[in-house]
Amino acid sequence: MYRKGHIGVSLLVFAPVGYWLVSVGEPETALLTGAVMLWLAMLPDIDHRLPVIEHRGLTHSLLFAVLIGGLFALAGVVLEGAFSVAGVSLITFGFLLGFLTVFAHLLGDTLTYAGVNYLWPLQRTFSFSLTRADNMAVNYGLFGLGIVVTVAWAAVAFGAV
């Protein structure tokens, strides 16, 4: 999956979270959450820049999602007490944000023939085998679908529909 496809999948994963945040009176948190997920949508592909890490290895696993969630939870430890997110511990929210950010990327790559090794370091690849990663129609289709779904939930959440 390419950047546009990953952004689309991130928007699709973000949509129910954003809807929930807006519906409980946290629109600023919804905006920040969406921005973080989009900004870091390509984080697992950092393995392209690190020659010692195999592509779709560690950074494309649930372990990496948990590690990033843990880093976000640590940020929650530092910020805990400064503000809260809809009655959820900032540590818990931080973990979920980091985990979902990576998980959205993995979900996008699971659509491809190459798939993802969620259980790294075990050798087990999961794939829906629906498309090649470079299929621009699919990448732009996911991008468009992500935008449409995000606009739709925002319209419902803000009472425009």
Average pLDDT, the chain: 93
At residue 134, the pLDDT reads 94
What are the CA-CA distances from residue 135 to residues 10, 60, 131 (Å)? 18, 20, 7
Closest C-alpha among 137, 71, 142 to residue 105 = 142
Segments forming the whole domain that contains residue 31: 3-157
> Mean of the pLDDT values across residues 129-143?
96
The answer to whether the beta carbons of residues 3 and 42 sit under 8 Å apart is yes
pLDDT over 90, % of the chain: 80
At residue 42, the pLDDT reads 97
Closest C-alpha among 120, 32, 18 to residue 72 = 32
How many structural domains is the chain composed of? Answer: 1
In this structure, what DSSP letter does residue 89 have? -
In this structure, what DSSP letter does residue 83 have? B
Backbone angles phi, psi at 10, to 5 degrees: -60, -40
Distance CA(69)–CA(101), nearest Å, equals 9
Distance CA(85)–CA(62), nearest Å, equals 25
State pTM to two decimals: 0.92
Distance CA(3)–CA(142), nearest Å, equals 10
The answer to whether the beta carbons of residues 44 and 59 sit under 8 Å apart is yes
Distance CA(156)–CA(159), nearest Å, equals 5
Please say if the pLDDT value at position 131 is more than 80: yes
Please say if the pLDDT value at position 68 is more than 80: yes
